[in-house]
């Protein structure tokens, strides 16, 4: 049996890709998002790259900072325009 400890779970990949995508679409820097979410820029970088696991609390802080729902960050299919325009 292969060692699967080094594999990133698909849900984490979806989360990190959605955070990066929404941040870029909203033209927010990684540093500004991290500051708004109350976490370090280095930690935010690790989240976006998928190398850092995040708690539900941090997920909530990032969602709040992006003005989206946590569930939006976990979706695999959605309307990008709706996410950009959420308040």
**What counts of helices (H) and strands (E) characterise the chain?**
5, 0
Quick check: 15 pLDDT over 90? Answer: yes
Q: How many C-beta atoms surround the C-beta of residue 42 within 10 A?
A: 11
- Rounded CA separation 34/20 (Å): 12
Could you state, in order of their start, the residue ranges of all structural domains in the chain?
Answer: 10-76
29-71 confidence digits (pLDDT tens)? 999 999 999 999 999 999 999 999 999 999 999 999 999 999 9
Instruction: Give the global pTM.
Output: 0.83
- Rounded CA separation 35/81 (Å): 24
User: Options 1.10.260.40, 1.10.1130.10, 3.50.50.60, 1.10.240.10; which CATH number does 10-76 get?
Assistant: 1.10.260.40
Average pLDDT, integer, range 4-22: 87
């Amino acid at each position: 049996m292969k060692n699967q400890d080094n594999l990133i779970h698909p849900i984490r990949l979806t989360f990190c890709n959605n955070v990066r995508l929404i941040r870029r679409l909203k033209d927010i820097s990684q540093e500004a998002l991290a500051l708004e979410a109350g976490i370090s820029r280095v930690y935010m970088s690790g989240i976006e790259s998928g190398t850092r696991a995040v708690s539900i609390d941090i997920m909530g802080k990032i969602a709040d900072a992006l003005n989206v729902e946590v569930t939006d960050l976990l979706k695999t299919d959605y309307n990008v325009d709706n996410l950009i325009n959420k308040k």
